[in-house]
Each structure stands twice: as C-alpha cells, then as structure tokens.
Structure 1
Amino acid sequence: MRQTWRWFGPLDRVTIGDARQAGAEAIVSALHHLPPGAEWPLEEIAERQQAVATGADGTPTGLVWEVVESLPVSEAIKTGSGDWRGDVQRYRTSLSNLAKAGIRTVCYNFMPVLDWTRTDLAARMDHGGTAMRFDLVDFAVFDIHILGRAGSADDYPPSVPELAARRFAHLSDAGKQRLTENVTAGLPGAAEHWTLQGLRDRLADYSAIDADCLRRAHVDFLSEIVPHAEHLGIRLCCHPDDPPYPLLGLPRVMSTAEDFRSLLSSVDSPSSGLTFCTGSLGARPDNDIPAMVAEFAERIHFVHLRNVTRETEGVPCSFFEDEHLAGGTDMVAVIALLLAEERRRRNTGREDHQIPMRPDHGQDILDDVHRGAQPGYPAIGRLKGLAELRGVMHALESSAQRDSDGARKGSAPDTQEAFHAALGS
C-alpha cells in the first residue's frame, strides 16, 4: 500500500518535514480554508502542491499531494435546498481542476451538520499520553442539558439520560464550555466552527429529513458527479460516518455494510468507491471489519488504518482511540486482505492497483502533548502507528513472496508454515 500522511497545510504544527522523517511516501491534504460549496481554483491547488513539494529551506521534499481529504459536500446538497445545483456545478469544476493538477483520488463524506464527533480530545491514557474519546453519557449531557434538543432523551438507552442528569449536576461552567467545544470541533482545520445557536439552526434544516431522504440526496449527488469523475479518471471515495450511528437526531447513512451495499449498487461505477476507515466502522460491534474489507475490496480507493476500543457494547456506545495494533479490529487480517486485493488488481492490469493508506489519528505521546497539533493528528503518535503498520505490511508481503518462491520451487519454506500457523490460517 502507498504510505501517505495527512497534512492540514502551512498552519499545521506537524510539518511536511516531519512527514518526510516519518517515512511517508505521499501527502493527503485539502484546501480547508475554503468553505463547503466553494470552487477550488487551480491556482490554490497549485499553491498547496508547491507547499508540499518544497521544504521550509526551499529544497525539494520529494513528496507530492496525491489524495484530497476532503472535498466537502455542502449542507445545501445534502438537504436539496438553496443553491444546491450551483454547489454541484462548483464541485464538478473543483474535480476538473484537481484532475488538471494530476490529483486523482478524492475523499468526501455525507455526514449531516457535524463531521467526526468526540467528547474528549485529550483523554488521559494509562501510559501518560492522551487520546480522543467518545463518551456516550457525556454526549447525552451535551445533547439533553447544554444544547437542549427537544426529545433528545428518547434517543438514548434507558439508563443514559439518568446518568447524564447526575453528571450535568456536578459539571462546572468550565466543564460545560470544554464539552461544548469538543463536541462542536468538527473537521480539523475546517473553515466552520459552530456556536450552539448555529448548531440548533442547522439541526432545524434537517427536521423533515430522515435516513431515506438523505440516502436519496447522496445518490442524486453521485448521479450528477460520478459521470464527470469517470471522464476525468478520478476515484471518489466516501468516508463512513464517525461515529457510525445517528447523533443529535440526525440520520447517518454510511455506517454499516448494508449502507455500503446500497450506495455502491445505486451508483455502480469504478469511480464511486469507499474510503475504508477501520476506526470509524469499528465503533459498532455489529460491523465485522475484515469481512467488510473482503466484500468491498474492489471498490476501496483509500484506507484509514486506526483502532478503537469500545468501552460499552450496543449501538450507540462509548469508545476511545486505541493504539493502531490494539483495540477491537484485527489489523493484521485487514492488512492481509488489502494486500491480497492489491495483488489481484496488479494481476488484472488495474492502473490503481496500489491503494493509498494513512495511519489515521494517533495518541499524543512524548513531545506531542506540548506541540498542540490538530486533535487526533500528532507527529510522534502517528509515526509510531505508521511504523507498526509498516512492519505488519512488510511481514505479510515477505510471507507472500516466500509463498510465491516456494510454489515455483515446488515447496514452501518451513518458516512460511510457521508464519501461517501463528496467524491461525
């Protein structure tokens, strides 16, 4: 897999130089300062490419901007309101400009109002570092008692509203403010930062929109965009919901295998695919992550590798961002399936046989805690994750090569048999 690194632009406290030292082969970025619905000018795309390619001292970095994450879909498109057709046309123009610049992989999501959502951006871990966390009771505190959404208590398991009431009663004003800021943080580096009233207003825009309506809007959007992406040779890849269940009374429609099946069959094109995020999908106990990789492998255009540990079961649940090889997802099995898909693509002559991946999120460790990088995107925590994932990839690729060499010679080495025995295969 192509080892990439997310960079939020010149204001990112983790630099391109840091990414280079971490061993990244390419960069994932976006024009975060441009709001959803805006056209991405060719000149600004070129400026970001130059910033990636040139170090602070003016020397070449050897890195290129290969994946867009994200080209955001406006709320007008999701709700079919306002100048949504104009937003679609500007999206098409942005894709054209990205293709002219040589960028062919574009990640997006279809989550209404909020992007990823956490209640704690720096939860203390046993080793002394911090990680992002979603606590269902804390989220209910925000929803029921701070935001004051009508009927919100009915959206939680029976025990949660009572626990939230007790927790809210002992929450200081500073704690309320911190929880509000955490929940409304949204996409790191994004142009939008929410106020409570602004959030209430956006929720009101969805008062008559249920999951079926949002699915239709998603299909309508892709029906307009995908033929253009096909013409440009661009691979669109939808990121799953994070967390993968409804929040704040809003529908979420990219949370399960059935959601993926529905979308991919509705707009059946090689240019319409998935950003497979093991962490987002892993926050549901009913998502079998390796099985989903196997089922949708052909349409996976981009991969986020991270792990979560669920602290409660059921849907919704509480969870925290664990180390990349810890948590509830069998990362070795996932990587093995993705490498097998790459081999299959090479054998069939697919130009996009190499799948870009990145170490998604990371715990703040060592000097990360003082750097103040974007939440979830520390330097050392991601470097550690990438190193671990790279080690798994190397071991599996070496194993596959020994398999191939052994088959040509008529027998596989004993070490190969031991390796497969260790994996339980």
Structure 2
Amino acid sequence: MGRKYLTLASALLLALCLNACGSRPGTVPPPSGGGEGEGSPLLTPASPDDCYWTAVRHESYNPSFDRTEVSTMPTEKWWADLYLNEDGTALFREVLGFGYASYLINVEWWLGADNVLRLTGEDYDGELVTMDGRMEKDRSVMLETPYGDRFYFEPAQKPDSGGALCIADLEGTWRMTGGEPGAGEKHMASLLNIERRWSDGEEGGYILRAEYYSARLLDTDTPQYETQKELLVEKREEALSDGFSGEPWSARLFSEESGAEYLAALTERNTLHLRRSDAPDGPQTVYTRSDSFLPETLTLTLADEPDDALIFYWRDPPAEVAQPLEALPMTALEKGGQNRILLVGRWYETDIQFCTGSAEQNADGTLGEWITDTVLYEGTLGIDEPQWFSLSIPEKNARLCLFMKRPWDESWFTWPITDQDPFLVSGNTFLTET
C-alpha cells in the first residue's frame, strides 16, 4: 500500500508542474518510450509566469576531430531561448547575428514519464521537426536538435513586451495590405522582401538585406514606380514612433548609394509597419507576411519546367499572378503597349535584350534570322527573378525580338515577339535553347 501511495504522490506533483507551465496531461499523448513514472525525479512546481528559458551551453560533435565541442552561451551575436506556454504551445529559436540559425514555430510540447520533454513543430521552411530532451528537477532543460546538437537551458525571467519578437522575424516577403494613400493616388501597391544572408565579416553570423518596391497611380496611363535594392538593415533601440503599439525596437532600412531610408517595426510576427525616416509624423504603410515572393499559381507553373529552360515567359498572366507582383516596375518597350509579358529567370542568371528590327523568312515560311536595328533594353534576369515588360504583340510580322543567353555563352537565342507560328505564345511557356 505504501508504494501505491508514493506513486500517486509522484503523479500529483508532476501534474502540478504541468499545469503551471502549460502541458495538458490526459489530453495529449506523452512521448513514446517512457515508463510509468516510478523512480522519476520530482519536479519543483513552477509559477505560471516562469515558463521561459535561455540557453547557457551548446554541444556539437565535430567528426573531423572525433570530439564534442562545447560553447558557452549567450554571446554578443549568438543566443537561443525557449518558451513553454500555458496553453501547451511553445517557441524555440536560435539567433546568429540578425537571422535565425534554427527556429521552431507552431509548436506543441509534452512532458512525459521520466521528465522526457518533446517539442513538435515546423522549422522555417515549414518542415515537420521533433526535438527531444529532458527537464531536470531544478527545471533546467536539455534539448537535442535533429542534427544531434544539444542546447542546455536555464530558467529565466520572461522578457517584457517585445521580447517574443526580434529583428530576425523581419525576414520574409511582405505585401502591402493597409495604409492611407496620398492625395490623387487612384491605386497603389508595395512589396517588401527581406532576405537572410550569411556574412563572413568581422561580426559573423547572418545579416539582413531588403528590397523595396512601390507603384503609384496604377489606374492611370502613367504609373510611377520606385525600386530600392540591396538596402542595408540595422536595429534601432527606439520604437517606430511615439505611441506605437508594436515592438519597442525598430529597424532602419537604408541605401548609402541612393540615400533612401525607411523605418520598419512589427506589431506581431505577421504584421509590419513601414514609414519613411524623414517623415516621423507621416503615414505608416501596413504589410502582411506572405508565403513567398512569387505567387502560388506562378510557383506551381514553374514546377513543370523542362531541363533545358532558359527563362519563363508568360503573356498577359491572370490576376492571381499579376496582382501580387504589380508593385514591380513595368518596362515599356512600346508606347501604349496593350500586352504585358512576365519573364522569370530560371536555374542560372540570364542576359536578355529586346531589339527592334525584322526577321528573315526561311524557305518553308518560318521565321529565320533576326536583323537588329536598335537595342531597346538590355539587362539580366536572376534566378526566380520576375520582370515586367509592356508592348503590343502583332499578329504576324514581329517588330521586336527577345534575345537571351547565359553569361558564358557566346551566341544569343532569339524569340521574335509575334502571334505568328512558330513563335505564337497564347499563354505561358518555357523558352529554351531549341
């Protein structure tokens, strides 16, 4: 009888701790492989506000030297933390510089027999990830990543407002969903893309770079476009503006070359506010996080790409493709052009030219060599980079020709812009070397 009472007492203490930090015993299955709990270390019950941990040590195996390497955390550029919330959700994040080195979102956590801790959620790419570890009786935590690295956490004071988000959460594609347009603007669109990149500089870790696209007066014959690429990103300790309801910090996005400068801040992980730095009382534009830079319909179409594709060409794409990309500048190849062409770079960077001229006809009536008069446009298409062009596509004799080649090729491949066979394009197609 005594042993039975001891087991019941152990279970009661474990339940007290689970309820304090948010796990839901009896409603969520514990990790597999645990015992019945006899002999488990008893956990000290925690208060509902004490459900936050910071990493103090990191261990990783180095196969080159056949040894386990130990690092003290946090450092100036490297830190990790863990939230185990009362509702059974969790958050794990590891930050290196300005970007996430690893991240787990949409997480559920369980604390099972023998104090085995399990986190199941999604990584930054949406892949399902499980992390296993232990919670010791002093409430310190060990978690092992799928790659075998181990993080050791100690309980810490939960950060005040703003601690649940950091500058690494800026990474992603943001589409304008709100904000007051200026006087006389009939239709506007804006797109902000913030990328994480590895830096080998003195600071080490990840850096952030941003691209800003804005289009105004889209309902007129003379839309206005603004494009800023390779914007530097740095953290500010000040809020976006006085009385701002979001994060107590903000980010400065700026170009030393053009002088453009913007301030950005988050109100929640998927909502961003942006304003020009020289207009502290000016309007703020609201952006919502998007799944990707390219619209889903376009991404699905690109999945059918042949191996020999140079670029992707879509004539007058539907609204579900065009609208998410309408902030990107439109290059007018002909005044008053009635058709829109969307070009997307594929596996390699591709040089392109649009040239006026005429095509010689082959003996079988097909279009032959292109005789160029003037080069109207020349540039480069990056991998997965979309670019817009406008012109009026003739039914027969082409007035313009698209030239394309890889940087290492000597000869150009040609595609006369016409509705005449064999270059007729009624919808979308991959343009190839053949």
> TM-score normalised by the shorter chain: which range applies?
under 0.3
| Structure with the higher fraction of residues in strand conformation | 2
Greater CA radius of gyration, 1 or 2?
Answer: 2
